[in-house]
Amino acid sequence: MLENELQKIFGFNSFKKGQKEVILKIMEGQSAAAIFPTGAGKSLCYQLPAVLLPEMTLVVSPLLSLMKDQIDFLLENNIPAARLDSSLEIDEYNEILKKAKRGDLKILMISVERFKNERFRHHLEKMNISLLVIDEAHCISEWGHNFRPEYLKLPFYKNEFGIEQVLLLTATATEQVVNDICKKFELARSNVIITGSYRENLYLQITSTNETEKNKVLLQRIHESPNDPTIVYVTLQKTAEDVADFLCNNGINAHAYHAGMKNEERELVQNDFMNGKLNLIAATIAFGMGIDKKDIRRVIHYDLPKSIESYSQEIGRSGRDGEKSFCELLANRNNVNILENFIYGDTPEKESIRTLLLDIKNNSGSLWTIRTIILSKEINIRLLPLKTLLVYLDMENIITPKYTYFEEYSFKYHTTAHAIINNFNGERRHFVDGLIANCRLKKTWAYVDFNQIVNKTGADRRRIIAALEYFHEQGWIELQSKQPTDVYNIDTTDFDIDIVTDRIYSLFLRNEEHNIGRIDKMIRFFESDSCLSKGLALYFGENLEKEQCGHCSYCNIGKVKIQHSKELRPIADFTFKGLTEEAIKVLADNYTLLNMTKFLCGINTPVFYRLKMRQFPNFGILEKYKFKDVKDWIACHTQ
């Protein structure tokens, strides 16, 4: 009986809502999806089956912090589990792979990118896997708020490595997203278990606040319960720093958290918050996903969130212990244009798409090899939209991703070359001798020359890597790999560049329109003339029986009108030459109307990074203005 196993393994007396239904599907050999609100126990839906299933469970998770917390919990319950990530030492990483191949692990957690890693793929082929778990499964869908192009390949990887069952987990999925992920994994809709998003313990409050009054209202709110664990969400990294400084200057122990900080500093802040040394974090959305701190009592949105989905996920980090928690939005429209500008920034220029297609069309062979970071700089498309573009071309049947390999392999001897060769006989000895003889030794490290080794030994790349990995596992060498390179099959060059460019560009415009619409939909939700909790539940397909929850600002004080942003100085008052002259000169051949608009709106592009244009005094000077208005103003002055 499952309840007995639950008690024996985890010490829990009963299942939470929906857990047993999902686990039964998995134990019956079916695939399933669990859509539970944050903190409702999604993880147990794979953790218990992982112990009971015969082979290992492979978990794909988007965040290191999520992996760390879950691994700690599993090890505390004596469940053999591990994670693979870049923070591990070589020996530790190697030992985890050995355990996974021997069947000594019940759970292995990885990021989705690892599936493309040729070294990991070599080991994965030797692992026996019962279940593939995809956490934050809404990332699979273009209509999900954290869409990640790499996730679109997961159905392919499931089939490639012969994994029979899949379990999809997420807290936030609209009906459109649910249908999308079911289609991608050929999952029966009846195997999707949805427990609803309604959280009775969360008080939702919308407070219309002038921009100049925000700090005062925030400080007042913090002083009401100064020791309550609190996250203050902001849009910009600079705002996170400013808010944390303001609170510290007013006697509140607070710290900023954002993606611009060094990894070690971010980890220290997160750990201090998790263990109670720090009670307040001013954070961008870089903080939170996968953070399993049960006693967060407040989530305050200093700025508007990006969407209803983001709002739901962010407030869902409070009150996971079931105790009453307070979620407040200090609402005005001041940063609406900034939110929209982020969206416009992810739409590539049409000419950049055309340049990429021309490169594919002119490729002389059937394989197309790219280094994504370099390509991003060459055609001036940010990494996420570039990865999305490559997925679109895959869906157009123009290219198909094959694998990712490392351009540079090198190793350091832990024993002598002669000792390694002496471990083999016959043809194998001849091959190993040829491999080692054709590596270039420079001081400490030997560099692998694949072309030379292939020419001298006749072995293919796959065998060479397998040999190097074996030497590494035996402790004879320390192997490292650098410069990841993606290889694609070119399926056809028989396409009309202009037609395909227009079609792909229209997809980006469609997504742009969809995401801009999300912001408008979110504001209408915050200003709705009905219960906020009911409206939020309905957005995710759950119809609450009661008309009023009694624990939101609408139920207690009525409809809130979000204040309009303060009047901005008319763009026409700015001097075009004064704002743009230096940037136009530095951009030179990279000057376009879209690039100049992004520069003035503070939207980073690869070319700005390369030319260090973020340091220019006018970078982002018009970030609070509408992107379209800035673009039209520039166009007027350059016709």
Q: Mean of the pLDDT values across residues 228-253?
A: 94
| Distance (Å, whole) CA 152 – CA 400 | 13
Is the pLDDT reported for residue 121 higher than 60? Answer: yes
**Interstrand relation of 165-170 and 32-35 (parallel, antiparallel or unpaired):** parallel
**Local structure of residue 63 (DSSP, 8 states):** -
- Radius of gyration (C-alpha) of the chain in whole angstroms: 27
Instruction: Answer with the residue of higher pLDDT: 10 or 239.
Output: 239
The predicted-structure confidence for 482-516, as pLDDT tens digits, reads as follows 888 888 999 999 999 999 999 999 999 998 898 89
Is the pLDDT reported for residue 290 higher than 60? Answer: no
pLDDT at 145: 65
pLDDT at 565: 66
Q: Which one, of 279, 340, 284, 341, lies nearest residue 314 by Cα?
A: 284
202-336+536-557 shares the fold of 2-194: yes
Q: Look at the domain 2-194 and name its fold.
A: Rossmann fold (3.40.50)
Q: Mean of the pLDDT values across residues 251-280?
A: 89
Per-residue HEC secondary structure of 100-141 comes to HHHCCCCEEEECHHHHHEHHHHHHHCCCCEEEEEECCHHHHC
Is the pLDDT reported for residue 33 higher than 90? Answer: yes
Specify the CATH class of 202-336+536-557 in words. alpha beta
Element (H, E) at 205: strand 202-208
How many residues are there in the chain? 639
| Distance (Å, whole) CA 596 – CA 380 | 13
Is the pLDDT reported for residue 86 higher than 80? Answer: no
The predicted-structure confidence for 407-423, as pLDDT tens digits, reads as follows 889 999 999 999 999 99
Distant-in-sequence contacts of 102-105, Cβ < 8 A, 24+ apart: 103/55, 103/56, 103/128, 104/80, 105/56, 105/80, 105/81
| Residue 479 DSSP SS3 | strand
E strands along 249-353, which residues?
A: 254-257, 280-283, 298-301, 325-331
Is the pLDDT reported for residue 64 higher than 70? Answer: no
**Interstrand relation of 399-413 and 445-448 (parallel, antiparallel or unpaired):** antiparallel
Q: Which amino acid makes up residue 228? A: D
Map out the domains of the chain as residue ranges. 2-194, 202-336+536-557, 571-638
10 Å CB burial of residue 19 (0-12, 13-18, 19+) is: buried
Q: Which amino acid makes up residue 136? A: E
| Distance (Å, whole) CA 454 – CA 154 | 32
509 Cβ neighbours under 8 A, 6+ residues apart: 347
Q: How confident is the model at residue 165 (pLDDT cuts 50, 70, 90)?
A: very high
Is the pLDDT reported for residue 118 higher than 80? Answer: no
Residue at token pair 């923070």? 87
Average pLDDT, the chain: 89
Is the pLDDT reported for residue 288 higher than 70? Answer: no
The predicted-structure confidence for 442-476, as pLDDT tens digits, reads as follows 888 999 999 899 998 888 888 998 899 889 888 89
Output the six-digit token pair for 86.
Answer: 């870049």
Q: Mean of the pLDDT values across residues 94-117?
A: 90
pLDDT at 63: 67
Q: How confident is the model at residue 336 (pLDDT cuts 50, 70, 90)?
A: confident
Is the pLDDT reported for residue 248 higher than 90? Answer: yes
Output the six-digit token pair for 213.
Answer: 């009054």
In this prediction the pTM is 0.77
| Distance (Å, whole) CA 552 – CA 202 | 8
The predicted-structure confidence for 202-232, as pLDDT tens digits, reads as follows 999 999 998 889 999 999 999 999 999 999 9
Is the pLDDT reported for residue 405 higher than 60? Answer: yes
